[in-house]
Structure formats: C-alpha cells, structure tokens
Structure 1
Amino acid sequence: METTIALRALMVEPLSREAFAPFGEVIETAGATHYPINQGSTERFHDLARVDVVGGRTLINIFRGQPFHLPVEVRLLERHPLGSQAFVPIDGQRMLIVVAPPGELDESAIRAFISTPWQGVNYATGTWHHPLLTLAARGDFLVVDRGGPGDNCEERLLAQPRRIESLPV
C-alpha cells in the first residue's frame, strides 16, 4: 500500500540581497559598486559574488532549463559542499529559487524566492537548493561552479514535500 504524504504550502517572496544573504549572494547591477573602465566605454559592476572552489577549479557552463508550471512540487534539495554555484540568466528568464541554510538540512527553514528577469544568484558553499526551476519558457543560464576531485553534489528527499501554488504579484 502506497503512503501519501501531504504537501506543505511554500510561500514565494521577491528575491532581494537582504532576504537571500543567509544562502549566498544576489547577482544584479542594482545597488552594485560600479565605475567606468576602458576609457569610459564600459561600466564595470564590481565583485558581485564570491566564487568558492575548495580544492578544485572554476567551471563556466550554460544550463538550459526546461519550464515548470505552477503548481510546483518540491520533493528534493541538493547542496555542493566543495564550492559555490552561481546561476545568471542569459535570456531574461526568471527563476524560482528554493533554498535552505548550509549544514544539516532543516526543512523548517526552507524558503522560496522569485527572481526578476535580470537577477542571478550565487549559492554559498553547502547551501541546500532545488535544481534549476525556470517558469513559463525554456531558459539559458550562465552557471559558475566547481570542477575537480571529490563528491560535490549531495541530494536529499524531503520528509515533508512542499507545494508552490502561486507567485507574489
């Protein structure tokens, strides 16, 4: 006989630097330190995220996320104990971001955010997060993470799955 586990509602909040700080950094130009370079032909938005690659090397990838549609069931989180992982939209797609703090997985601390089309995130080393969730359309994301020896991906099924039914207006 199959056991049915009730899905717990998970509210989504707008992505902001302050709210996301326990999980990593928001990558965006708004509010960033910036200055002109190249004799004024380019504006540099400086030091937007701290890339961490313990005992490895930095990888630059493009991930193509397939769209999810509401409601979204969250049954699994993953973390990367040996490095940070950044996702930056290339084509203006928003991300649904589900996270929990680093350390032992605390399901009571799971939070969800929705990005604007031009916000990215850098998950701090060890931060629990759901795999890439794009909404409405396929999306391409520049992903900066760690390559090298060691197991850098740990997955956990949630004891109490979550369900996201709506987004903030």
Structure 2
Amino acid sequence: MTTIKIEPLTPEAFAPFGQILDATGAPDKIINQGKCGRYHDRATLDFADGRAAISIFKAEPRALPYTLDLVERHPDGSQAFLPMYEASFLVIVAPDDNGTPGTPLAFRTAPGQGINLNRGTWHGVLTPLAPPGLFAVVDRVGPGANLEEHWFDTPYIVTG
C-alpha cells in the first residue's frame, strides 16, 4: 500500500479541486446593523441541470491512519460540505487521469472550515475525524445518477 501524508489545506493547493469555505480575513461587507460580517459568494455552484438542494449528512467519524479504497465523483454538479460543528474533517481529492482518478491528495480542514468540490472532482467519502459528523451539504438534485465510483486495486493509507 502507498502512504499519503495529509497536506495543509490552502487555497492554492485546493484550487484545482474546488474552494475552501471559511470566514478568514476581512469580510466583504458588514451587515445586520454592523453586527455581522458577510463573506460573500465563496463557492462556485455548477450544475449541468437540476437544481441546488441543501441536505444534512450525519457521517460516522473515522480515525487515522485511514484506509482509502474508494473515491467518487459527481459529473453533473458541484458539492459543498459545511460542518455543523467545530472540528476538523479529512478531505481527499484526486486529479482526473483520462477518466480515472490519479494519485490522491489528502487535506485536513481547520475547525469550522468547509469545502466546495468542483463538478466532476474525484473525492473520498465524507470523513469526519470527530463526532458528531454532522454536515450541511449543498449539491445537485435532478434526473440521472450523478455518481461514479472508483475502487482502487491497492488501497492507500492516509496518515497525519
């Protein structure tokens, strides 16, 4: 098995796969009688058809080292994961290599940070590292399966 080291999650490193959703830096606007900073338009929602929906996912927390044997992608729509608790989660992505995933990369979010995956991005399953594993997910609903899975012949081991 090949080992993958978790890398720092930076906008530059994650840019080929999507956007980081957080409230760092100065807000774009101050609203609500000066009591709220608005960090505006942080994700590129991209749907071939259908519409955007907000779902709630409750995923079982995982531990490191983590065995990565499956990635998936959604060719018809982007997918955003917004944790509903202050803990890190593991984000695994892979570049596309002629229709199959290339070598995966692993990132750990900061507590309270979310991500938006570009349409068609190979990614691991939702992998919280602490309970309760509760997320708001913004993605496409509409006709068609919108899911491709790829099982690795030889799993990867993700370490901190």
Query: Which 4+ runs in 1 deviate beyond 6 A?
Result: none
Q: Residue 16 of structure 2 aligns with which residue?
A: 22
Please state whether the residue corresponding to 1:43 is helix, strand or coil: strand
CA distance in 2, matches of 1:133, 1:96: 5
Say if 1:35 and 1:45, in contact at 8 Å, map to a contact too.
Answer: yes
When the two structures are aligned, how many residues end up with a matched partner?
A: 159
Please state whether the residue corresponding to 2:12 is helix, strand or coil: helix
Q: Is residue 147 of structure 2 the alignment partner of residue 153 of structure 1? A: yes
Q: What displacement does 1:16 show?
A: 1.2
Say if 1:107 and 1:158, in contact at 8 Å, map to a contact too.
Answer: no
TM alignment of 1:13-162, pairs within 5 A: 13-31=7-25, 33-102=27-96, 104-108=99-103, 110-162=104-156
Larger mean Cα displacement after TM superposition, 151-160 or 123-132:
151-160
Could you give the per-residue CA deviations for residues 2-59 of structure 1, whole angstroms, max 9, x where no partner exists?
A: xxxxx21011012111110000000011136521123323221111101112211111
Please state whether the residue corresponding to 1:137 is helix, strand or coil: coil
Larger mean Cα displacement after TM superposition, 90-99 or 80-89:
90-99
TM-score, with normalisation over the residues of structure 1? Answer: 0.88
What amino acid is aligned across from residue 96 of structure 1 in structure 2?
Answer: L
CA distance in 2, matches of 1:148, 1:32: 36
Percent identity among equivalent residues?
44
Could you give the per-residue CA deviations for residues 108-143 of structure 1, whole angstroms, max 9, x where no partner exists?
A: 3x1000001111110000000011001132321110
TM-score, with normalisation over the residues of structure 2? Answer: 0.93
Q: Can you give the 5+ residue segments of structure 2 that lack an aligned partner in the other structure?
A: none
Which of structures 1 and 2 has the bigger CA Rg? Answer: 1
